[in-house]
Amino acid sequence: MSQPARIPLRDEFNSRAHDALGDAQLRRNFRGAMDSLMEKRAAAFSDADERERLRTLGNHIRARALSRLPDLLEQLESNLTANGIQVHWAETTEQANRIVLDIAERRQARQVIKGKSMVSEEMDMNHVLADHGIECLESDMGEYIIQLDHEKPSHIIMPAIHKNADQVARLFERELGEPYTRDVNQLIQTGRRILRQKFFDADIGVSGVNFAVAETGTLVLVENEGNGRMSTTVPKVHIAVTGIEKVVAHLRDVVPLLSLLTRSALGQPITTYINMISRPRQAGERDGPEEVHLVLLDNGRSQAFADSELRQTLNCIRCGACMNHCPVYTRVGGHTYGEVYPGPIGAIITPHLVGLDKVPDHPSASSLCGACGEVCPVRIPIPSLLRRLREENVSRPDPGHAVMRGQGSKYSALESTVWTLWRTLYTRPLLYRLFRFFATRLRALTPSRLGPWTEHRGAPKPAARSLHELARKHLEQSR
């Protein structure tokens, strides 16, 4: 496979959104897919009482794990090491890639097969390995499709959801020389046939981690295609990469979280495969890797952890339900965000990973309708966190005491002064009455153009008389 082109990120959100809204095919693809996912989730949680009890339990499990995060990470490392799994810590994506490269170079690896992993997308692992002469092939069908088309995932669960069967068929015809067919089963069989031998040729298998169990030193990975199990068992070396927030205290915590994850993501009671990895291959065992490594990545998560409100961002179990129900994401698609994590959850995670100044428009890309918070399986208050990030966005920059990188990137002294005057008027009755009197009498002086507001709307103009004045006049006439 040729080396994939790098996808330019962090362009203007607004210009990409404008282009996406004008793409009728893209909007039809997303609308159809999102409607289907919402219906499946609703059917999977047919008992509302059971659903809400499970959401509360999931929230408590995640909150308890985060409250003990440093201790649980130490316990996880201790138990993994005792099981024979080598643990590596990385503060940045550069450090994480260096760890993977060191392992690959020591094993003289030339081919890597990768299961689905959003953390590896954060690391831009495919391109980094390619720069060092190592081929990294995606084995998840959706990831394989977008890798063929040199794209980034547009959804955290279904990375190629923006494509329909016709587009995939033409892609396979162009890139693989396969006969054109829109038969989905045949397309899947084509992908499997090509990938099958790659599992046996690969020197290293890479995977993500859904949950890391501290008390047993177990890595839990769920999937439907079997590619995760092949990636973690066939190559001689398995490298798992994950964020530090994925740790849970007990094995029993995994059961309700898995039920929430699979039903919220795909409407499935459970996935086809649940992989629980606790150690490398032992003497006498017939399969499994000779080495297992776990790379624990921070990449800005400690920043979110340090703030008691923003810490709730780390509760996320990556189901994608908030994206499926978001009226903004559904219309503009995942590539509009230009980052690894799109949609509502991306809008609250990404500022910690790259800095708020790199994605200043993301917290504003929401109608604050509340749908994302209502469907979140672990009750993350996404609308409240979006409002908090908007506040951080427009706060006066305070480098010495900033809560997060890039705080104050949209600060405007003029806007701040306007809101200060507005607050003064509305908290002093005499000043407010004077303002109201002159605003109604001088309404003809109201400007007809008010920046972006009047691009698609008329300019607001005060009424000739205030409601109080009209009411007073009505009462006087009725006496």
| pLDDT tens digit sequence for 428-439 | 999 999 999 999
Whether residue 465 is contained in a domain is answered as yes
Question: Within this chain, do residues 87 and 218 fall inside the same structural domain, yes or no?
Answer: yes
Q: Indicate the residue among 303, 335, 370 that finishes a domain.
A: 303
pLDDT band with cut points at 50, 70 and 90 for residue 297: very high
Provide the residue count of the chain: 479
Q: Indicate the residue among 280, 303, 326 that finishes a domain.
A: 303
SS3 content of the chain, % helix, strand, coil (to 5): 55, 10, 35
Burial (CB < 10 A; 0-12, 13-18, 19+), residue 158, is: buried
CATH number at residue 194: 3.40.50.10420
Domains of the chain: total:
2
pLDDT band with cut points at 50, 70 and 90 for residue 10: very low
Q: Does residue 9 have a pLDDT over 70? A: no
Which of 131, 128, 129, 126 has the alpha carbon at shortest distance from 143? Answer: 126
Note the pLDDT tens digit of each residue in 102-128: 999 999 999 999 999 999 999 999 999
Whether residue 12 is contained in a domain is answered as no
| Mean pLDDT score of the chain | 93
Q: Does residue 5 have a pLDDT over 70? A: no
pTM across the whole model:
0.89
Whether residue 372 is contained in a domain is answered as no
Q: Indicate the residue among 283, 303, 323 that finishes a domain.
A: 303
Whether residue 112 is contained in a domain is answered as yes
Query: pLDDT value at position 205?
Result: 97
Handedness of CA 254, 259, 263, 269 (dihedral sign): positive
> E strands of 65-179, at which residues?
86-90, 111-114, 135-138
Span 331-339, mean pLDDT? 95
Question: Within this chain, do residues 101 and 244 fall inside the same structural domain, yes or no?
Answer: yes
Query: pLDDT value at position 187?
Result: 93
**Percent of the chain's residues with pLDDT above 70:** 98
> E strands of 211-303, at which residues?
211-213, 218-223, 237-243, 247-248, 273-277, 291-297
Note the pLDDT tens digit of each residue in 165-182: 999 999 999 999 999 999
Q: Does residue 31 have a pLDDT over 80? A: yes
Under a CB-based contact definition with an 8 Å cutoff, are residues 143 and 153 in contact? yes
| Domain ranges, residue 418 | 413-478
Whether residue 38 is contained in a domain is answered as no
Tokens of 263: 């039903």
Whether residue 18 is contained in a domain is answered as no
Burial (CB < 10 A; 0-12, 13-18, 19+), residue 376, is: buried
Whether residue 386 is contained in a domain is answered as no
Question: Within this chain, do residues 245 and 109 fall inside the same structural domain, yes or no?
Answer: yes
Whether residue 337 is contained in a domain is answered as no
